Amino acid sequence: MPLPTIPYRPPRLPEDEMRRRGGDFLAEMDRRRSVRMFSTDPVPRDLVELAVRTASTAPSGAHMQPWTFVISGKPEVKRRIRLAAEEEERINYQGGRLPAHWRAALEPLGTDWHKPYLETVPWIVVLFEQRYRVGADGVRRHHYYVKESVGIAAGLFLAAIHHMGLATLTHTPSPMAFLTGLLRRPENERPMCLFPIGYPAADCMVPDLARKPLSEVMVEV
Ligand code: IYR
């Protein structure tokens, strides 16, 4: 049975107003940076909820919304995540699991296996993708375009966090399967990305990187 339909009538704006809004939004998003130096200042839980609700407005295959945001501000949970992530990353960086080309690509960013911020940030949010769902009847139902849907939700989450004046990082400890057990997630879920959430530290520094110009990211045919 198709869903009932409702009117969708967003206001039609004058072009100069559209241009102003688009430019303002670009300028704001262009100020976003991935942060690895966080303040320990507390962040109210409702701000994290707002970002999750914003992320959850993402379009998704057949509107299945195949994502779960697991949030924690508990010191013991954050500590266990830090220890497990650092163990994996130590094998990556020091144990030779990262191939030479990957280490070379990361060199300008100056990352290493130490992830102290995972323990000191007020919140950690782990985004899980639901590969399928299990109905109340115990029957498996398909999810569609899961990676694309969850990727879009992750982007909206980043934008929402930044828009509120908070900072985060798309951290993908590799492999990240330890998060499924540590956070007691069901078999249908796989961790996709971990976001430490907080304010940037007062002495926060970020790499002085440049974004590709339009001419390198857009072609007209
Ligand atoms: N997961 C590792 C390595 C890493 C990989 C990529 I691709 C980055 O853009 C940054 C880091 C880490 O978190 O250090």
Ligand 1 proximity of 34 Cβ (cutoff 6 Å) = no
pLDDT in tens, 165-210: 999 999 999 899 999 999 999 999 999 999 999 999 999 999 999 9
Domain edges within the chain:
36-200
pLDDT (tens digit per residue) in 119-164: 999 999 999 999 999 999 999 999 999 999 999 999 999 999 999 9
Supply the mean pLDDT for the chain: 97
CB of residue 172 inside a 6 A radius of ligand 1: yes
Q: Determine if ligand 1 sits within 6 Å of the CB of residue 122.
A: no
Q: What is the DSSP string of 52-84?
A: HHHHTTS--BTT---EEEEEE--HHHHHHHHHH
- The residue whose C-alpha atom lies closest to atom 1 belonging to ligand 1 is 173
Give, as one character, the DSSP assignment of residue 163: H
Q: What is the model's pTM?
A: 0.96
Q: Ligand 1, closest atom to CA 173? A: 1
Report whether residue 200 contacts ligand 1, using a CB cutoff of 6 Å. Answer: no
Q: Which fold has domain 36-200?
A: NADH Oxidase (3.40.109)
- Does the Cβ of 88 fall within 6 Å of ligand 1? no
109 contacts 206 by C-beta, under 8 angstroms: no
What pLDDT shows up at residue 161?
99
